[in-house]
Chain A
Amino acid sequence: MKRSRILAGATAASLALGLAACSSGDDGGGGGDGEDVTLGFYTDKAAWEPSFDAMNEVSGTQGSTLDFTGYSDATAYDSFIKQSFRTKKVPDLFTWHTGSQLADLVDQGLVAETTDLWTQAEADGLVPEGLKDNYTYDGKQYCVPLNVAYWAVYYNKKVFADHGIEVPTTFDEMMAAAKKLKDAGVTPFHQMNIIFEFAWFQALLAGDAPDVYQGLQTGDASYLDPKVVEVMDQWKSMIDDGYYNDPGITTDPQTMLKNGDVAMAYFGTFLTGQLTDVGAKSGEDYGIFPMPSMDSASGNQMVLETGPLCVGKGSEHEQQALDYSAWWMSDEAQNAWSSSRGDVSFNPHVKVEDPELQGLVDQVKDGGFTTQQRYLEANPLPVYTLSTEIFGDFVTNAPDPKPGLQRLQDEADKYWADQG
């Protein structure tokens, strides 16, 4: 009997502990309504912690600082954010993705609206034209841009000089340079079969048929369009001719470009930071030029990638987080951010210290470029996910592109049919 009693007591204690754990709600922490507030901030950009720390020194004067939690695994991070919305601990501020991933959060009413912030920022000239489209759902805006990156061609200056190659301004010039480099035993272009396997599809199609590139994002164009086939054939011929590195090489693109293992790499301007990390100097070791359009009649095209900074609706410091978001777009914040990251800012008032990047920004501003969204965020998630398989295989084996395009179109048809 004694043992039974002990056991009953232990079971009751165990249940009580379980119930206590289940019912635990607010941890009693948080900043309250005081003047200075610490905002819970979550991001999948763990490596950027020093830059966010630097921002705290500037934003501290405004009364808000970020309590940084960084994830280095994007998938684990996405899962964490989604789960956090099922708890009482909604993040004050967090980074996310544009496109259908943001649409999902908006549909569920999980992110705070930022329409007023955008209206003010546009009135103050803090954001370029067109950027708002990435953040607009049913005519309202959600989140603000954390950062932007232009997609352009990085080239190794020494390799270009050694082979007497000028910076190309047309697609034909770029292909002539590629042939010259290949003949001299240098791999002209970098590409990879994971993460950015879509890059050259994006570069070629946006420059050959921008209307088709945009049409794919809305279901108005087909992957079987003759222009898409033309682009795939061009890409295949470049792979077959040995214009790209072997995708089995897992060396970082920045290292390959710095070492001259490849002469050119088409990347977002975030590559600048990675090149700096491996000791390459902008303007000395490498330069940047806009990707020339495959069909010059299509005009200059520039792919712009942007990542959102979002406020969790109903979070503990929702209003302060919105105030921080407004401040984030200001000249003060963006000067500090650009300086800390060594990267371009979306704010047109901000000058980048790096002359190559500033040169690119100036060209985009003055060269009549049309801005395009990056393929990854611009397309429906199921289609993009299938594209990682199709393009990953294409980069690796350069098969006949038609079956892959057919599969992509089937997936797109299914997606748009489900959308009604």
Chain B
Amino acid sequence: MTATAAPPRSPAGTTSPVRRPRAPYRWSARGFALPAVLIVALLLYLPFVWTSYLSLTEYNGLGDPELVGLAKYQEMLTDAGFLNSLRNTLFWVVGTLVLPVGLGLLIAVLAYGLKGSFWYRLPFLLPYAISGVAVGVIWTFVLQTGGALDEALGVLGVTDPPRWLLDAPLNTLVMIAAATWQGAGVNALLFTIGLQSIPKEPLEAARLDGASGWTMFRTMTWPMLTPLTTVVVGLSIVGSLKQFDIIWAMTKGGPGVSSETLALTMYKDTFVENDYGLGAAVAVFLTVITVAASVLYLRRQLSGARES
């Protein structure tokens, strides 16, 4: 039993005081991890490999896929509908960063420290318990032509209201508003947790130095919220890139393809058009940009946090 390896070195080059575990322990640790690794490999990596393979084929869900190289990617990138979906997806990414995240932060900051702040936050949190499809149905009642909003505007004398769900990009914007209604509350909750975890002493010191209001928020609270903001923004980016249920329930991507996002394009190409190769190409594209956006953002944020 001479297999005692040299202790690992930390990035700074100092010797770690932690001894490397003995070999039998390492093997049993790997054994414990194995079922989880197998499940992830089987349910996540294997389907991704299969989807990547399908994206190189012509396949209608019957018989065997036929290899066509990169033809499906070429078809995807030259399709006007795809570029429209890409634009709408970007709308969603920017829109959900500005609205649900911004509004969540605003609610959290305004309610924080107030007596009974829980009750201020609660109404914003309740829609989070509803499924996306139900949110879509509720908002369709509100926004359809002659719906609740048009009726309300009619009472106020607006006789020719905008066609909320029919005209692009207005239809995408109002659906982002619906997603905001659902998502702002949980972001507010997360930001509240962040606010509660900020140590009191630095804030107290800043207050003694005369900081208050906007200055206090900008120079003290906001920087100290960074770890939580990183999580909320990261979740928001990933969530918006794969947005599906609200859009499917409200417009099905229409009229035409005017409110379609990449997630809808992927679904329609695959299951409505039976072009599994094209749908898989969109899926791979969507996965790559989602992972790339997450990694780039998190790496930047976390390295920034380390430096500070």
Please determine whether chains A and B interact with each other in the same assembly: yes
Residue of A at shortest CB range from B30? A7
Question: Is the pair A75, B28 in contact by a Cβ cutoff of 8 Å?
Answer: no
Inter-subunit contact A7/B32 (CB<8 Å): yes
State whether the Cβ of A78 lies closer than 8 Å to any Cβ in chain B.
Answer: yes
Interface residues of B in 267-281 (CB under 8 A from A): 268, 271-275
Residues of chain A contacted by B28 (CB below 8 angstroms): 3-4, 7
> How far is the CB of A410 from the nearest CB of chain B, in Å?
11
A74 to chain B, nearest CB (A): 9
User: Which A residues touch B62, using CB under 8 A?
Assistant: 82, 85, 104-105, 107-108, 110
B167 contacts across to A, CB distance below 8 A? 397
Chain B: minimal CB distance from A314 (Å): 14
A255 close to chain B: CB less than 8 A: no
Stretch at the interface among A300-308, A362-370, A388-396: A388-396
With contacts A389-B81, A392-B255 taken as known, whether A108 is within 8 angstroms of B144 at the C-beta atoms is no
CB-nearest residue of chain B to A109? B63
Q: Is A249 in contact with B146, judged by CB distance below 8 angstroms?
A: yes
Does A11 count as interface, using CB distance less than 8 angstroms?
yes
CB <8 Å contact, B35 and A10:
yes
- Whether A250 is near chain B, meaning CB under 8 Å from some CB there, is yes
CA distance A82 to B255 in the complex (A): 28
Name B255's contact: one of A14, A382, A385, A396 (CB within 8 Å): A396
Q: Which residues of B contact A58 (CB under 8 A)?
A: none
Asked if A248 contacts B144 (CB within 8 A), the reply is: yes
B145 within 8 A of A: yes
The prevalent SS among residues of A at the interface is helix
Please report the number of residue pairs spanning A and B whose Cβ atoms sit closer than 8 angstroms.
Answer: 87
Q: Any chain A CB within 8 A of the CB of B236?
A: no
CB-contact partner of B257 in A10, A75, A101, A389, under 8 A: A389
- B13 near A: Cβ within 8 Å? no
Determine whether the beta carbon of B81 is less than 8 Å from that of A1. no
For A95, list chain B residues within 8 Å (CB). Answer: none
Given that A4-B31, A193-B254, A396-B166 are known contacts, is A246 also in contact with B145, CB under 8 Å in the complex? yes
Verify B166–A250 contact, CB threshold 8 A. no
Interface residues of A in 190-206 (CB under 8 A from B): 193-194
Interface string of A243-274 (1 = CB under 8 A from B): 00011111000000000000000000000000
**Is A194 touching B31 in the complex (CB atoms < 8 A)?**
no
Q: State whether the Cβ of B230 lies closer than 8 Å to any Cβ in chain A.
A: no
Q: Does A79 touch B at the CB level, under 8 Å?
A: yes
Inter-chain contact A248/B271, CB cutoff 8 Å: no
Say yes or no: A7 contacts B145, CB within 8 Å: no
* A229 CB-CB contact with B under 8 Å: no
CB of A165 closer than 8 Å to a CB of B = no
Partner of A8, one of B31, B165, B252, B273: B31
**Min C-beta distance of B137 to chain A, whole Å:** 10
Interface code B125-161, partner A: CB below 8 Å = 1, 0 otherwise? 0000000000000001000111000000000000000
Q: Which residues of chain B have C-beta atoms less than 8 A from A193's C-beta?
A: 166, 254-255
Size of A's binding interface in residues, CB under 8 A? 39
B24 proximal to A (CB < 8 A): yes
- Chain B residues near A396 (CB-CB < 8 A): 166, 255-256
* Chain B residue at minimum C-beta to C-beta distance from A14: B35
Residue of B nearest to A404 (CB): B256
Residues of A within 8 A of B140 (CB): 250
Say whether A75 contacts B271, CB under 8 Å. Answer: yes
Q: With contacts A10-B35, A108-B63, A246-B145 known, is A194 near B273, CB below 8 A?
A: no
Cβ of A126 within 8 Å of any chain B Cβ, yes or no, is no
Q: A11 to B31: give the CA distance in the assembly, Å.
A: 8
B60 near A104: Cβ-Cβ < 8 Å: yes
Measured in the bound complex, the distance between the Cα atoms of B80 and A390 in whole Å is: 13
Q: A85: which B residues are within 8 A, CB to CB?
A: 62
- Give the distance in Å from the alpha carbon of A388 to the alpha carbon of B62 in the complex: 24
**A381 contacts chain B at the CB level, 8 A cutoff:** yes
The contact string, 1 if C-beta is below 8 Å from chain B, for chain A 373-400, is: 0000000011001001110110111000
Tell me the complex Cα distance, A8–B28, Å. Answer: 9
From known contacts A7-B28, A7-B32, A250-B140, infer whether A392 and B256 are also in contact, taking CB-CB under 8 Å: yes
The complex places the Cα of A8 from the Cα of B30 at a distance, in Å, of 11
Chain B residues lying within 8 Å of A107, measured Cβ to Cβ, are 62-63
Q: A7-B31, A247-B166 are in contact. Are A392 and B254 (CB under 8 A)?
A: yes
Which of B28, B31, B146, B255 has the most A CB atoms < 10 Å from its CB? B255
CB of B34 closer than 8 Å to a CB of A: yes
Interface status of B27 (Cβ within 8 A of chain A): yes
Residues of B contacting A389 in the complex (Cβ-Cβ under 8 angstroms): 81, 254, 256-257
Min CB–CB distance B161 → chain A (angstroms): 10
The answer to whether A382 and B61 touch across the interface, beta carbons within 8 angstroms, is no
Q: How far is the CB of A320 from chain B (nearest CB, A)?
A: 25
Given A4-B28, A79-B61, A249-B145, 18 extra CB contacts under 8 A: A7-B28, A11-B31, A11-B35, A14-B38, A75-B271, A75-B272, A101-B274, A110-B62, A193-B255, A194-B252, A385-B273, A389-B81, A390-B256, A393-B255, A393-B256, A393-B258, A396-B166, A396-B255
- Chain B residues near A (Cβ < 8 Å): 24, 27-28, 31-32, 34-35, 38, 60-63, 81, 140, 144-146, 163-167, 252, 254-258, 268, 271-275
A-B contact pairs, 12 of them (CB 8 A): A1-B24, A4-B24, A8-B31, A75-B272, A78-B274, A247-B145, A249-B145, A385-B268, A388-B256, A393-B258, A396-B255, A397-B167
**3 tightest Cβ-Cβ pairs between the two chains A and B:** A248-B145, A393-B256, A396-B255
